[in-house]
Amino acid sequence: MCLARSLTGLTFCACYLASYLTNKYVLSVLKFTYPTLFQGWQTLVGGLLLHISWRLGWVEISSNSRSEVLTWLPASLLFVGMIYAGSRALSRLTIPVFLTLHNVAEVIICGYQKCFLKEKTSPVKICSALFLLAAAGCLPFNDSQFDPDGYFWAIIHVFCVGFYKILQKSQKPNLLSDIDQQYLNYIFSVVLLSCASHPTGDLFSVLEFPFLYFYRFHSSCCASGFLGFFLMFSTMKLRSTLAPGQCAAWIFFAKADHRGFILPLSYLGLLDAVIAQAADEETRPE
Protein backbone atom coordinates (compact mmCIF):
# COMPACT_ATOMS: atom_id res chain seq x y z
CA MET A 1 0.00 0.00 0.00
CA CYS A 2 2.82 2.40 0.90
CA LEU A 3 4.61 1.54 -2.35
CA ALA A 4 1.43 2.17 -4.37
CA ARG A 5 0.99 5.58 -2.75
CA SER A 6 4.61 6.48 -3.43
CA LEU A 7 4.24 5.47 -7.07
CA THR A 8 1.12 7.61 -7.36
CA GLY A 9 2.97 10.59 -5.91
CA LEU A 10 6.02 10.09 -8.12
CA THR A 11 3.80 9.75 -11.19
CA PHE A 12 2.10 13.01 -10.31
CA CYS A 13 5.47 14.77 -9.90
CA ALA A 14 6.75 13.41 -13.22
CA CYS A 15 3.60 14.51 -15.07
CA TYR A 16 3.72 17.92 -13.37
CA LEU A 17 7.30 18.53 -14.43
CA ALA A 18 6.93 17.14 -17.96
CA SER A 19 3.71 19.03 -18.72
CA TYR A 20 5.17 22.44 -17.81
CA LEU A 21 8.36 21.80 -19.76
CA THR A 22 6.43 20.66 -22.83
CA ASN A 23 4.02 23.59 -22.70
CA LYS A 24 6.88 26.03 -22.24
CA TYR A 25 8.67 24.53 -25.25
CA VAL A 26 5.62 24.94 -27.48
CA LEU A 27 4.72 28.42 -26.22
CA SER A 28 8.11 30.10 -25.86
CA VAL A 29 10.55 28.25 -28.11
CA LEU A 30 8.31 27.32 -31.01
CA LYS A 31 6.28 30.47 -30.23
CA PHE A 32 2.89 28.89 -30.83
CA THR A 33 1.04 31.84 -29.27
CA TYR A 34 -2.50 30.92 -30.29
CA PRO A 35 -4.06 30.10 -26.91
CA THR A 36 -7.58 29.35 -28.14
CA LEU A 37 -6.19 26.67 -30.46
CA PHE A 38 -3.52 25.32 -28.11
CA GLN A 39 -5.81 25.09 -25.09
CA GLY A 40 -8.69 23.93 -27.28
CA TRP A 41 -6.49 21.09 -28.51
CA GLN A 42 -5.41 20.12 -25.00
CA THR A 43 -8.96 20.07 -23.65
CA LEU A 44 -10.16 18.14 -26.72
CA VAL A 45 -7.52 15.46 -26.15
CA GLY A 46 -8.29 15.39 -22.43
CA GLY A 47 -12.02 15.12 -23.06
CA LEU A 48 -11.61 12.29 -25.59
CA LEU A 49 -9.27 10.34 -23.32
CA LEU A 50 -11.61 10.81 -20.35
CA HIS A 51 -14.58 9.68 -22.46
CA ILE A 52 -12.66 6.60 -23.64
CA SER A 53 -11.67 5.82 -20.05
CA TRP A 54 -15.32 6.07 -19.06
CA ARG A 55 -16.43 3.74 -21.85
CA LEU A 56 -13.76 1.22 -20.89
CA GLY A 57 -14.94 1.29 -17.30
CA TRP A 58 -11.74 2.80 -15.88
CA VAL A 59 -13.54 5.85 -14.45
CA GLU A 60 -17.14 6.56 -13.53
CA ILE A 61 -18.98 9.57 -14.93
CA SER A 62 -22.48 10.15 -13.61
CA SER A 63 -25.40 11.14 -15.83
CA ASN A 64 -26.09 14.42 -14.09
CA SER A 65 -29.27 16.45 -14.27
CA ARG A 66 -29.48 19.69 -16.20
CA SER A 67 -29.68 21.75 -12.99
CA GLU A 68 -26.40 20.28 -11.71
CA VAL A 69 -24.68 21.00 -15.02
CA LEU A 70 -25.98 24.59 -15.06
CA THR A 71 -24.82 25.06 -11.48
CA TRP A 72 -21.29 24.10 -12.51
CA LEU A 73 -21.13 26.37 -15.60
CA PRO A 74 -19.66 29.41 -13.75
CA ALA A 75 -16.80 27.19 -12.56
CA SER A 76 -16.28 25.89 -16.11
CA LEU A 77 -16.11 29.49 -17.33
CA LEU A 78 -13.43 30.20 -14.72
CA PHE A 79 -11.62 27.06 -15.86
CA VAL A 80 -11.48 28.41 -19.43
CA GLY A 81 -10.20 31.75 -18.15
CA MET A 82 -7.64 29.93 -16.03
CA ILE A 83 -6.13 27.88 -18.87
CA TYR A 84 -6.36 30.70 -21.43
CA ALA A 85 -4.69 33.30 -19.20
CA GLY A 86 -2.19 30.71 -17.95
CA SER A 87 -1.17 29.89 -21.52
CA ARG A 88 -0.60 33.55 -22.38
CA ALA A 89 1.32 34.16 -19.15
CA LEU A 90 3.53 31.07 -19.50
CA SER A 91 4.46 32.08 -23.05
CA ARG A 92 6.01 35.30 -21.68
CA LEU A 93 7.28 34.35 -18.21
CA THR A 94 9.85 31.83 -17.04
CA ILE A 95 8.46 28.73 -15.35
CA PRO A 96 9.72 29.60 -11.80
CA VAL A 97 8.19 33.09 -12.04
CA PHE A 98 4.91 31.71 -13.37
CA LEU A 99 4.69 29.09 -10.60
CA THR A 100 5.46 31.66 -7.92
CA LEU A 101 2.61 33.85 -9.15
CA HIS A 102 0.36 30.81 -9.59
CA ASN A 103 0.75 29.97 -5.89
CA VAL A 104 -0.78 33.32 -4.90
CA ALA A 105 -4.17 31.73 -5.62
CA GLU A 106 -3.82 30.08 -2.20
CA VAL A 107 -3.87 33.58 -0.66
CA ILE A 108 -7.27 34.25 -2.26
CA ILE A 109 -8.65 30.97 -0.93
CA CYS A 110 -7.23 31.57 2.55
CA GLY A 111 -8.64 35.13 2.62
CA TYR A 112 -12.08 33.94 1.53
CA GLN A 113 -12.18 31.24 4.19
CA LYS A 114 -11.04 33.68 6.87
CA CYS A 115 -13.16 36.72 5.95
CA PHE A 116 -16.35 35.25 4.51
CA LEU A 117 -16.66 31.74 5.94
CA LYS A 118 -15.19 32.78 9.30
CA GLU A 119 -13.18 29.56 9.43
CA LYS A 120 -10.40 29.18 11.95
CA THR A 121 -7.08 29.47 10.14
CA SER A 122 -3.86 28.26 11.69
CA PRO A 123 -1.04 30.80 12.15
CA VAL A 124 1.18 28.59 9.98
CA LYS A 125 -1.27 28.82 7.07
CA ILE A 126 -1.59 32.59 7.47
CA CYS A 127 2.19 33.02 7.54
CA SER A 128 2.51 30.79 4.49
CA ALA A 129 -0.06 32.88 2.60
CA LEU A 130 1.70 36.12 3.55
CA PHE A 131 5.03 34.65 2.46
CA LEU A 132 3.60 33.66 -0.93
CA LEU A 133 2.14 37.14 -1.36
CA ALA A 134 5.44 38.80 -0.41
CA ALA A 135 7.41 36.55 -2.78
CA ALA A 136 5.08 37.38 -5.66
CA GLY A 137 5.19 41.10 -4.82
CA CYS A 138 8.99 41.14 -4.97
CA LEU A 139 9.14 39.42 -8.35
CA PRO A 140 8.58 42.45 -10.63
CA PHE A 141 11.45 44.30 -8.95
CA ASN A 142 13.89 41.39 -9.28
CA ASP A 143 12.87 39.91 -12.63
CA SER A 144 15.53 40.71 -15.23
CA GLN A 145 13.12 39.59 -17.97
CA PHE A 146 10.16 41.60 -16.68
CA ASP A 147 7.24 41.48 -19.10
CA PRO A 148 4.17 43.61 -18.19
CA ASP A 149 1.84 41.60 -20.43
CA GLY A 150 3.05 38.35 -18.89
CA TYR A 151 2.35 39.62 -15.37
CA PHE A 152 -1.05 40.97 -16.45
CA TRP A 153 -2.18 37.58 -17.75
CA ALA A 154 -0.63 35.86 -14.72
CA ILE A 155 -2.76 38.02 -12.41
CA ILE A 156 -5.91 37.07 -14.34
CA HIS A 157 -4.82 33.43 -14.14
CA VAL A 158 -4.34 33.69 -10.38
CA PHE A 159 -7.81 35.14 -9.79
CA CYS A 160 -9.43 32.53 -12.01
CA VAL A 161 -7.62 29.73 -10.17
CA GLY A 162 -8.54 31.17 -6.77
CA PHE A 163 -12.24 31.65 -7.50
CA TYR A 164 -12.43 28.31 -9.30
CA LYS A 165 -11.16 26.51 -6.21
CA ILE A 166 -13.55 28.48 -4.03
CA LEU A 167 -16.51 27.39 -6.16
CA GLN A 168 -15.17 23.84 -6.19
CA LYS A 169 -14.95 23.70 -2.39
CA SER A 170 -18.34 25.37 -1.87
CA GLN A 171 -20.13 22.77 -4.00
CA LYS A 172 -22.24 20.20 -2.17
CA PRO A 173 -20.44 16.82 -2.00
CA ASN A 174 -23.37 14.89 -3.48
CA LEU A 175 -23.63 16.94 -6.67
CA LEU A 176 -20.63 16.39 -8.92
CA SER A 177 -17.54 14.27 -8.45
CA ASP A 178 -14.08 15.48 -9.50
CA ILE A 179 -14.33 13.41 -12.68
CA ASP A 180 -17.76 14.88 -13.49
CA GLN A 181 -16.43 18.39 -12.97
CA GLN A 182 -13.44 17.84 -15.21
CA TYR A 183 -15.56 16.20 -17.90
CA LEU A 184 -17.86 19.23 -17.98
CA ASN A 185 -14.83 21.53 -17.99
CA TYR A 186 -13.43 19.77 -21.03
CA ILE A 187 -16.71 19.90 -22.96
CA PHE A 188 -17.35 23.56 -22.13
CA SER A 189 -13.74 24.53 -22.91
CA VAL A 190 -13.71 22.86 -26.33
CA VAL A 191 -16.97 24.55 -27.34
CA LEU A 192 -16.06 28.01 -26.01
CA LEU A 193 -12.46 28.04 -27.28
CA SER A 194 -13.53 26.77 -30.70
CA CYS A 195 -16.06 29.58 -30.98
CA ALA A 196 -13.49 32.13 -29.77
CA SER A 197 -10.73 31.07 -32.21
CA HIS A 198 -12.24 33.10 -35.06
CA PRO A 199 -13.00 36.40 -33.21
CA THR A 200 -9.52 36.38 -31.64
CA GLY A 201 -7.89 35.88 -35.04
CA ASP A 202 -6.13 32.67 -34.04
CA LEU A 203 -7.97 30.54 -36.59
CA PHE A 204 -6.45 32.23 -39.63
CA SER A 205 -3.23 33.55 -38.07
CA VAL A 206 -2.11 30.00 -37.35
CA LEU A 207 -1.72 29.42 -41.10
CA GLU A 208 1.34 31.70 -40.93
CA PHE A 209 2.95 29.74 -38.11
CA PRO A 210 6.42 28.72 -39.39
CA PHE A 211 6.51 25.31 -37.67
CA LEU A 212 3.00 24.27 -38.68
CA TYR A 213 4.19 21.29 -40.75
CA PHE A 214 7.20 20.29 -38.64
CA TYR A 215 7.10 16.96 -36.84
CA ARG A 216 8.51 18.35 -33.58
CA PHE A 217 5.62 20.78 -33.36
CA HIS A 218 3.13 17.97 -33.95
CA SER A 219 4.82 15.64 -31.45
CA SER A 220 5.08 18.41 -28.84
CA CYS A 221 1.39 19.27 -29.19
CA CYS A 222 0.45 15.59 -28.89
CA ALA A 223 2.67 15.24 -25.83
CA SER A 224 1.14 18.34 -24.22
CA GLY A 225 -2.38 16.97 -24.70
CA PHE A 226 -1.58 13.55 -23.24
CA LEU A 227 0.51 14.97 -20.40
CA GLY A 228 -2.28 17.39 -19.47
CA PHE A 229 -4.69 14.47 -19.19
CA PHE A 230 -2.26 12.32 -17.21
CA LEU A 231 -1.56 15.24 -14.86
CA MET A 232 -5.28 15.71 -14.27
CA PHE A 233 -5.80 11.99 -13.75
CA SER A 234 -2.81 11.58 -11.43
CA THR A 235 -3.93 14.62 -9.41
CA MET A 236 -7.36 13.09 -8.87
CA LYS A 237 -5.79 9.74 -8.03
CA LEU A 238 -3.54 11.47 -5.52
CA ARG A 239 -6.49 13.17 -3.82
CA SER A 240 -8.60 10.02 -3.70
CA THR A 241 -5.94 7.67 -2.30
CA LEU A 242 -4.00 9.91 0.09
CA ALA A 243 -4.96 11.92 3.14
CA PRO A 244 -5.22 15.71 2.61
CA GLY A 245 -1.93 16.29 4.44
CA GLN A 246 -0.05 13.69 2.39
CA CYS A 247 -1.58 15.03 -0.82
CA ALA A 248 -0.49 18.56 0.06
CA ALA A 249 3.02 17.26 0.80
CA TRP A 250 3.29 15.62 -2.66
CA ILE A 251 2.04 18.78 -4.37
CA PHE A 252 4.60 20.83 -2.43
CA PHE A 253 7.30 18.31 -3.39
CA ALA A 254 6.31 18.55 -7.08
CA LYS A 255 6.61 22.34 -6.99
CA ALA A 256 9.88 22.18 -5.06
CA ASP A 257 11.21 19.60 -7.52
CA HIS A 258 10.15 21.91 -10.33
CA ARG A 259 12.17 24.77 -8.88
CA GLY A 260 15.10 22.55 -8.04
CA PHE A 261 15.28 21.21 -11.58
CA ILE A 262 14.30 24.21 -13.67
CA LEU A 263 15.41 27.25 -11.68
CA PRO A 264 19.19 26.56 -11.90
CA LEU A 265 18.87 25.84 -15.61
CA SER A 266 16.90 29.04 -16.13
CA TYR A 267 19.51 31.19 -14.42
CA LEU A 268 22.35 29.50 -16.27
CA GLY A 269 20.53 29.89 -19.57
CA LEU A 270 20.93 26.18 -20.30
CA LEU A 271 17.25 25.34 -20.65
CA ASP A 272 16.52 27.99 -23.27
CA ALA A 273 19.74 27.20 -25.09
CA VAL A 274 18.99 23.49 -25.37
CA ILE A 275 15.42 23.81 -26.59
CA ALA A 276 16.24 26.79 -28.83
CA GLN A 277 18.96 24.75 -30.49
CA ALA A 278 16.45 22.00 -31.10
CA ALA A 279 14.13 24.51 -32.74
CA ASP A 280 16.95 25.88 -34.91
CA GLU A 281 17.72 22.42 -36.18
CA GLU A 282 14.14 22.17 -37.42
CA THR A 283 14.51 25.27 -39.60
CA ARG A 284 17.80 24.30 -41.20
CA PRO A 285 17.44 23.24 -44.83
CA GLU A 286 18.49 19.71 -45.58
Confidence of residue 63 (pLDDT cuts 50, 70, 90): low
**pLDDT of the residue at 136:** 85
Does the pLDDT at position 276 exceed 50? no
Q: What is the mean pLDDT of residues 266-274?
A: 43
**pLDDT of the residue at 280:** 52
Give Rg (Cα) of the chain: 19
Does the pLDDT at position 261 exceed 60? no
Does the pLDDT at position 7 exceed 70? yes
**pLDDT of the residue at 200:** 92
CA neighbor of 45 nearest in space, from 172, 233, 208, 269: 233
C-alpha 144/C-alpha 72 separation (Å) is: 40
83-115 residue pLDDT tens: 999 999 999 998 888 988 998 888 898 888 888
Does the pLDDT at position 285 exceed 70? no
217-248 residue pLDDT tens: 999 999 999 999 999 998 888 888 877 777 77
**pLDDT of the residue at 138:** 87
Backbone CA torsion sign across 261, 147, 192, 63? positive
- Are 177 and 72 in contact by the 8 Å Cβ rule? The answer is no
C-alpha 77/C-alpha 81 separation (Å) is: 6
Does the pLDDT at position 174 exceed 50? yes
Q: What is the mean pLDDT of residues 164-176?
A: 82
Q: What is the mean pLDDT of residues 26-31?
A: 92
**pLDDT of the residue at 56:** 92
Does the pLDDT at position 158 exceed 80? yes
Report the predicted TM-score, pTM, of the whole model to 2 decimal places: 0.86
Confidence of residue 74 (pLDDT cuts 50, 70, 90): very high
List Cβ neighbours of 191 (8 Å cut-off, separation of 6 or more): none
List Cβ neighbours of 143 (8 Å cut-off, separation of 6 or more): 97
Q: How far is CA 262 from CA 73, 211, 255, 278, in A?
A: 36, 25, 10, 18
**pLDDT of the residue at 61:** 87
Q: What is the mean pLDDT of residues 13-29?
A: 91
